[in-house]
C-alpha cells in the first residue's frame, strides 16, 4: 500500500501516518518473510553468538588507538547559515561529518552540492546518507535514478554512502526487510561503476535480528547501526539485560558472521533528545534529558564505544538542532549547549591517545589512556557522586567542558559528569 508522506520539520523525521490496520494486513500477507528471516538468524546468528563471546572477552582487554576520525558529527544545511554551521563545526575540532540527502529533495541537489562543497573546501571528511520514503518502495527505478545521480555528483566529495535510513520503522516507508533488500540492490549494481563504498544496513535501535537477513545478502563495505540507547537513560543502563557495550559486541559479531568476513562497524546516529524543547524533540517522555545529562551521556557513550576496539566511528546526530543538537538554533546568535563543549573537550583530550584499560568499582568507572608519553584517565560514576582512589597521584584535572585545574593527590571526587585526570609523570 502507498501511504501519504508527511515530514516533521521540527524533529527532522517523518510523521507516522500509515494506518496500523494496513500495516498489520501487510505483515499477515507477507508472513513467509518471517520464516526466511528466522532461517537467516539461525544460519548466521548461531556463529554470531560464538563470535560475540570471543569479542566480549577481548573488549577493553587490548590497547585501542583513538584516532581523530573516530569522532564525527552530522550536519544539515540551513538556508543562509552554511558558513555559521561550518564555523561551529571547526570549533569542535571534529573532522568527519555525515550529511543526509532525502530522495524527495532530489530537486535540491544543487543546494546540497554547494553545502558539501563548503565542507570539502575546509577539509572535512564526509559520509552521505540516502533517505527513503514509501513511494520509493513502489518506484524502484526512480529510487535507482536518485542513487545514480547522487553517486555521480558527490563521489568526488564523499567515498561513503549509507543506503537507506532507519527502515525498521514504518514511518520511514519500509514495511519489511525484503523491501529494504530491493531498495539497497540498485546501489550495489552502481557501486563499481562510480567507485564508491557502501554503508548499511542502517538499522535503528537494538533490533539485531535484522542483521543476518540483510547483511548475508548485501555485502556492505562498512556495517552501520543507528544505536540509540536513550530510552533507558544513561548509556551504562541495561535494556532487557543488554548494556551498550554488550549491544556493541553483538552488532560487531552479527555483522561479521553475516558478511562472512571482517568488517568495520560504524554507529551512524545517536543522541539524547532534550527536555523542554516541545515539538522539536524527536521523542516524547522518558528519553528526554537535561542539557547537562545529554553532555554527560555523549562523552560516556563515545568512550564506551570507541575504547571497545569494535567501533571505528561514532556520528552524533546532529550539530545544530533545537530538540537535540549541540547547538540551539532558536536563538540569535545560536547558543552552544553543554554538549558542544563536551564534544570539543572529548576530541581534544582523547584524539591521538591509546586506550590501555579500565576499572570499575561500585558505580565508578575509570578508562585509562596514554597520550604523548603521559598517562590520563576519564572518570565518572553511574550513581551518586563518590570519592575514588586513583592508581597514582594526579597532577591536573580537566572537567567535561574543558576547564583545567591543578590537582594533587590520589583521591578525587567524581560524579556523572566525566572528568579527565592527568597523572604525575
DSSP codes of every residue in 118-165: HHHHTT-EEEEEEE--HHHHH-HHHHHHHHHHHHHHHTTT-SEEEES-
Distance from C-alpha of 76 to C-alpha of 248, rounded to nearest angstrom: 27
Q: What percent of the chain has pLDDT over 90?
A: 89
Final residue of a structural domain among 331, 351, 371? 351
The whole-number pLDDT of residue 22 equals 72
| One domain for residues 387 and 329 | no
Residue 81 has pLDDT above 70, yes or no: yes
User: Residues 137-191: pLDDT tens digits?
Assistant: 999 999 999 999 999 999 999 999 999 999 999 999 999 999 999 999 999 999 9
| One domain for residues 124 and 20 | yes
| One domain for residues 302 and 397 | no
- The three-state secondary structure class of 319 is coil
**Total domain count, the chain:** 2
Instruction: Give just the sign of the alpha carbon dihedral 380, 385, 389, 395.
Output: positive
The whole-number pLDDT of residue 27 equals 63
| One domain for residues 252 and 379 | no
Cβ neighbours for 226, distance < 8 A, ≥ 6 positions apart = 165, 166, 202, 203, 204, 205, 267, 268, 269, 270
Domain containing residue 290: 8-351
Residue 402 has pLDDT above 70, yes or no: yes
The grid cell for 125 is: 571528511
> In sequence order, what E strands does 153-235 have?
160-163, 197-204, 222-226
Instruction: Kindly report the pTM of this predicted structure.
Output: 0.96
Question: Is residue 333 reached through a cis peptide bond, with omega within 30 degrees of 0 on the bond before it?
Answer: yes
- The three-state secondary structure class of 326 is coil
Residue 2 lies in a domain: no
Residue 189 CA from chain centroid, whole number:
26
Residue 4 has pLDDT above 80, yes or no: no
| One domain for residues 16 and 140 | yes
Residue 1 lies in a domain: no
Mean pLDDT of 239-257: 97
Listed residue (309, 424, 298) closest to 358, CA to CA? 309
The whole-number pLDDT of residue 34 equals 73
Residue 139 lies in a domain: yes
Residue 382 has pLDDT above 80, yes or no: yes
Mean pLDDT of 326-350: 97
Distance from C-alpha of 416 to C-alpha of 363, rounded to nearest angstrom: 10
The whole-number pLDDT of residue 16 equals 81
Mean pLDDT of 97-114: 97
Residue 1 has pLDDT above 60, yes or no: no
Amino acid at each position: 500500500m502507498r501511504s501519504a508522506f508527511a515530514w516533521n520539520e521540527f524533529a527532522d523525521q517523518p510523521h507516522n501516518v500509515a494506518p496500523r490496520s494496513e500495516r498489520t494486513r501487510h505483515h499477515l500477507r507477507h508472513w513467509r518473510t518471517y520464516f526466511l528471516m528466522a532461517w537467516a538468524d539461525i544460519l548466521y546468528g548461531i556463529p554470531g553468538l560464538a563470535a560475540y563471546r570471543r569479542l566480549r572477552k577481548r573488549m577493553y582487554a587490548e590497547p585501542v588507538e583513538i584516532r581523530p576520525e573516530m569522532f564525527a558529527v552530522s550536519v544539515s544545511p540551513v538556508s543562509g547559515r552554511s558558513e555559521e554551521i561550518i564555523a561551529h563545526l571547526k570549533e569542535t575540532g571534529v573532522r568527519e561529518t555525515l550529511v543526509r540527502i532525502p530522495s524527495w529533495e532530489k530537486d535540491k541537489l544543487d543546494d546540497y552540492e554547494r553545502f558539501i562543497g563548503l565542507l570539502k573546501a575546509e577539509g572535512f571528511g564526509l559520509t552521505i546518507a540516502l533517505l527513503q520514503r514509501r513511494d520509493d518502495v513502489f518506484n524502484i527505478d526512480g529510487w535507482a535514478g536518485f542513487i545514480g545521480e547522487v553517486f555521480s555528483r558527490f563521489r568526488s566529495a564523499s567515498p561513503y554512502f549509507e543506503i537507506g535510513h532507519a527502515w525498521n520503522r514504518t514511518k520511514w516507508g519500509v514495511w519489511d526487510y525484503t523491501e529494504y533488500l530491493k531498495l539497497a540492490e540498485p546501489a550495489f549494481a552502481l557501486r563499481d561503476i562510480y567507485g564508491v563504498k557502501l554503508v548499511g544496513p542502517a538499522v535503528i535501535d537494538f533490533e539485531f535480528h535484522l542483521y543476518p537477513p540483510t547483511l548475508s545478502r548485501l555485502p556492505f563495505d562498512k556495517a552501520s547501526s543507528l544505536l540509540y540507547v536513550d530510552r533507558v537513560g544513561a548509556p551504562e543502563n541495561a535494556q532487557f539485560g543488554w548494556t551498550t557495550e554488550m549491544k556493541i559486541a553483538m552488532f560487531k559479531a552479527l555483522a561479521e558472521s553475516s558478511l562472512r568476513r571482517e568488517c568495520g562497524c560504524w554507529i551512524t546516529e545517536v543522541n539524547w533528545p532534550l527536555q523542554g524543547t516541545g515539538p522539536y524533540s524527536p521523542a516524547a517522555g522518558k528519553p528526554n534529558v537535561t542539557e547537562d545529562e545529554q553532555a554527560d551521556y555523549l562523552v560516556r557513550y563515545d568512550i564506551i564505544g570507541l575504547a571497545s576496539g569494535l567501533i571505528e566511528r561514532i556520528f552524533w546526530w546532529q550539530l545544530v538542532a533545537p530538540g537535540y543538537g549541540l547547538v540551539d538554533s532558536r536563538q540569535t546568535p545560536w547558543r552552544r549547549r553543554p554538549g558542544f563543549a563536551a564534544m570539543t573537550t572529548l576530541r581534544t583530550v582523547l584524539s591521538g591517545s591509546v586506550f590501555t584499560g579500565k576499572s570499575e568499582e561500585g558505580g565508578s568507572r575509570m578508562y585509562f589512556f596514554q597520550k604523548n608519553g603521559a598517562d590520563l584517565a576519564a572518570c565518572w560514576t553511574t550513581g551518586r557522586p563518590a570519592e575514588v582512589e586513583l592508581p597514582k597521584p594526579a597532577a591536573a584535572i580537566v572537567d567535561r567542558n574543558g576547564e583545567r585545574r591543578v590537582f594533587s593527590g590520589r583521591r578525587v571526587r567524581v560524579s556523572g559528569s566525566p572528568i579527565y585526570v592527568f597523572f604525575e609523570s
